[in-house]
Amino acid sequence: MYRLLPRLQLVSIRCLSSATPNAATSSAKKDALMKLRKKTGYSYVNVRKAVEQFGPERLDEAEKWLKELARKEGWAKAAKLGSRVTSQGLVGAQSSGNRAAVVELNCETDFVASCDTFKELLDEVTTAALEASKNLSAPSDKVLYSQNIDLESVQTSKNRPVKEAIAMTVGKLGENINIARAQVHVAPSKIPVFVQCHPKNGTSTTEMGRYASILGISRTQNATSFPTEKLAAQLCQHIIGMKPTTLGSPQVTKKEVGKAAAEEGKDELNEFYSGEVTQMDEDETQLLRQSFMLNPVQNVHEYLESHGAEIISFDRIELGVKDD
């Protein structure tokens, strides 16, 4: 019995010494798996395969392998799901200077439309569309030029075609995704273009929602100190809510407009008004003749005139509603 003790102790020591490296390796693989999954966002099963194949010391190679696998799986899933109906999604809009881009990206369910991965894709595609608008020359006339564009082969900021970006997201989310429309809007060089979406549901760079409005606006010699950005935001909100279909012609009525108060930096929307009240006509479709939603005592034309501003053109887009 006593003669066996040294041998048993030796065996125990050998087992303990051989177990320590295995535990360290297991811990390293676990850390590598967590790090790689957090960085790439790929499935646990595929990340584990990558770590097993390349080890915790070769994560760069593992990441390349994962991207290539995702590319293959994404294209395969995109082809498989391509016939499914896409009735949900978001409209994304960006503007910069005299240019704007609007993209409607559709998916199958509202759940996917609200997830960050889908929004990241819409942000990437809308940014690519705005970049593509730089290939269009600014019009010389006082108009807002609009054009539909094919984005599939356009490169994104992630150095991949839009078509591939969509396929990769399809592979990740498991739903059919497609571009319902992609438009760019270009105004003359000195006329800014603004966009707004509702309900606001976007990123730091892209407005997103079910509705979008695009507005080209210029200031006249009689411009007040009211900021153009705020004025455009109010008008974009009006366009989304009141659904005008054409710019139309002015319909002037005699009334007193608090222009002096506006020039002094006061908010005329909260000032007392004693003039004639414009009758609201909810069936009016000409933008300039509609009662201004935020100040119904004036129509849109009168409100613009009181601020020394002029609308060049506008557009209103609704998710799932095609242009006439």
Residue 143's Cα: distance from chain center in Å?
25
- In-domain check, residue 313: no
CA distance 61 to 44: 17
Q: Which residues of 80-103 are buried (b: 16+ CB within 10 A; e: fewer)?
A: ebeeeebebbbbbbbbeebbbbbb
Q: Which of 103, 111, 263 is nearest to 195 (CA)?
A: 103
Q: Same domain for 188 and 106? A: yes
Say what the pLDDT of residue 42 is.
Answer: 67
The stretches of the chain forming alpha helices (DSSP H) are 4-40, 44-54, 59-81, 110-113, 116-132, 162-173, 228-242, 259-263, 300-307
Q: Same domain for 108 and 204? A: yes
Say what the pLDDT of residue 4 is.
Answer: 47
- In-domain check, residue 248: yes
CA distance 157 to 160: 8
Say what the pLDDT of residue 268 is.
Answer: 52
What is the mean pLDDT of each successive set of 10 residues along the chain, which is 324 residues long? 49 47 67 74 72 77 73 66 85 97 97 96 97 92 92 92 91 92 95 95 94 96 94 96 93 51 52 51 88 93 95 96 77
CATH number where 257 lies? 3.30.479
Question: Could you tell me the pTM of the whole model?
Answer: 0.72
Say what the pLDDT of residue 168 is.
Answer: 86
Output the six-digit token pair for 155.
Answer: 């490169």
> Sign (positive/negative) of CA torsion 152, 158, 159, 164?
negative
Q: Same domain for 237 and 288? A: yes
Please tell me the chain's helix, strand, coil percentages from 3-state DSSP, rounded to the nearest 5: 45, 20, 35
Q: Same domain for 301 and 205? A: no
- In-domain check, residue 179: yes
Say what the pLDDT of residue 51 is.
Answer: 76
**Distance (Å) of CA 26 to CA 57, 59, 254, 269:** 13, 15, 82, 67
Q: Same domain for 68 and 106? A: no
DSSP character string of 268-282: GGGS---SPPPPP-T
Q: Which residues contact 233 (CB under 8 A, 6 or more apart)?
A: 194, 196
Q: What is the DSSP letter of 264?
A: T
**Distance (Å) of CA 247 to CA 186, 222, 268, 282, 320:** 17, 21, 24, 16, 23
Q: Same domain for 49 and 102? A: no
Q: Same domain for 281 and 229? A: yes
Q: Same domain for 168 and 281? A: no
Do the beta carbons of residue 184 and residue 136 sit within 8 Å? yes
Q: Same domain for 91 and 208? A: yes
Number of structural domains in the chain:
3
Q: The domain containing residue 58 runs over which residues?
A: 32-81
Do the beta carbons of residue 190 and residue 178 sit within 8 Å? no
- In-domain check, residue 312: no
